[in-house]
């Protein structure tokens, strides 16, 4: 028995993170990033008072991108890691100069019906 490799899965997740999620942030258009997320995906962070905030990405992330972000010409995006095990994966993406902000995002993804999708995101904003 040979060990499976995840190169095709890695490239599919990389595409979601760079060409959908990060590109949507760069252009400040949630419609570009929406295909990266499952319909029930969530997003959470801790605010400046140390309190948990977030909820459904449809109610928190997408309106925030459309209403509070502006297009960014030169954001720097680095995928720190993508870790895959069968139909589950996690990833870390660091972004600088996105609408003047920096972020560290942690994503959990699942391969649902043969397609990778983000089911949850937690993040830290470097303000």
Give domain limits for the chain: 7-126
Class assignment of domain 7-126? alpha beta
Residue 14: helix, strand or coil by DSSP? helix
Segment (H or E) for 85: strand 76-85
Query: pTM above 0.75?
Result: yes
Which residue in 122, 110, 120, 98 sits closest to 13, CA to CA?
Answer: 110
Class of residue 35 by CB neighbours under 10 A (exposed 0-12, middle 13-18, buried 19+)? middle
pLDDT score of 53 = 96
- Residue 115 CB partners (closer than 8 Å, separation 6+): none
Specify the residue for token string 């990389």: 14
For residue 127, name the pLDDT band (cuts at 50, 70, 90): confident
84-118 pLDDT, tens digit each: 999 999 999 999 999 999 999 999 999 999 999 99
Instruction: Find out whether 89 and 116 touch, Cβ atoms under 8 Å.
Output: yes
Class of residue 94 by CB neighbours under 10 A (exposed 0-12, middle 13-18, buried 19+)? middle
Angle, alpha carbons 78-99-19 (nearest 5°): 45
């Amino acid at each position: 028995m040979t060990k499976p490799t995840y190169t095709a899965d890695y490239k599919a997740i990389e595409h979601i993170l760079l060409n959908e999620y990060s590109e949507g942030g760069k252009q400040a258009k949630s419609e570009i990033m929406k295909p990266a997320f499952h319909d029930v995906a969530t997003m959470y962070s801790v605010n400046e008072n140390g309190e948990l905030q977030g909820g459904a990405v449809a109610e928190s992330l997408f309106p925030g991108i459309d209403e509070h972000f502006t297009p960014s010409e030169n954001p720097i995006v680095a995928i720190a890691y993508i870790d895959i095990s069968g139909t589950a994966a996690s990833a870390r993406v660091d972004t600088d100069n996105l609408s003047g902000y920096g972020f560290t995002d942690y994503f959990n993804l699942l391969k649902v019906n043969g397609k990778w999708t983000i089911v949850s995101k937690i993040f830290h904003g470097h303000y």
